[in-house]
Amino acid sequence: MPALLSPDAPPRASSQQHFELRRFDAPVGAEVIGLDIAKPIDDAAFARLHRAHLDHHVLVFRDQRITPAQHIAFSRRFGPLDIHVLHQFHLGDHPEILIVSNIKKDNGEPLGLGDAGAYWHSDISYKPEPSLGSLLHAQELPGEGGDTLFADQHLAWEALAPALQQRVLGLKAEHSYLAKYEALRAKNPWRPALSQAQIDKVAPAVHPVVRTHPETGRKALFVSEHFTTRILGLPQDEGDALLAELCANSVKSEFVYRHRWAPHDLVFWDNRSLMHLAAGTPDALRRKLYRTTVRGDAPF
């Protein structure tokens, strides 16, 4: 059972929502009990959520029966939202929402991005201003599979040998959305070919290998097997070996929380602190989730 972090807030005006935060028995993560995102959230309660997000990196809001508009409105309280480059998988009149799904439409076309999260990554790391955080809301869940894993990159950094820490401090790496795109398309026919206009929107970006969290000041590794293509200033073979070593060290089991989805879960994670991975869903089972992505700032 999760450990209780703090009791309900003291009694206040009846219009205020009261909720509990319960830490998971895991390296990261806490669940929010008793909060309804569809109802107003006052500034004090929101500040408490914000602090919990910084402290635990993953917040799980249980049984959120919200509309797409309510999902977007709650997400926007944390900052402006990114619009994903794959416009093919936007939700109708809500382009802020990316459909993550393996379901096919009646005409055989994919409803959403079916292989999202196939490699460890931090969302939108390929842009000059990567994501602050992502909010994923369960719409339809499979009877088995479909878990999401989160790895704490602060812990990964702190666990590196001092000599390796000194070696990578100050290094920069290139991140590209196209790094594995064609390889994924070859395996997954639901991935669309990108237009030139889409390619132009995802030019590679360069970021520190070790970033500093802008709100907490903690250092974290900021490379991934999905989007990081090379480490600048190093010969390709040396950079590839270093990148492989960092990626292997960053996802050790002692840094990982495995989320097993429950109906109507809304999961909000900090892309500045974590990487994540989709564990996979059997092809015959349906899975659909809606994702918003909060824009962050340039890593330093």
The verdict on whether 154 is a catalytic residue reads no
The catalytic position among 48, 56, 121, 287 is 121
Q: What's the CA gap between 289 and 291, in Å, rounded? A: 7
- In the set 71, 226, 276, 287, the catalytic residue is 276
276 in catalytic set: yes
Residue type at position 204: P
CA distances from 172 to 87, 196, 270 (A): 30, 27, 21
Q: Which of 115, 123, 152, 270 is catalytic?
A: 123
**What is the number of other CB atoms lying within 10 angstroms of the CB of residue 105?**
8
Q: Is 260 a catalytic residue?
A: no
Q: Is 123 a catalytic residue?
A: yes
Catalytic residues: 121, 123, 276, 291
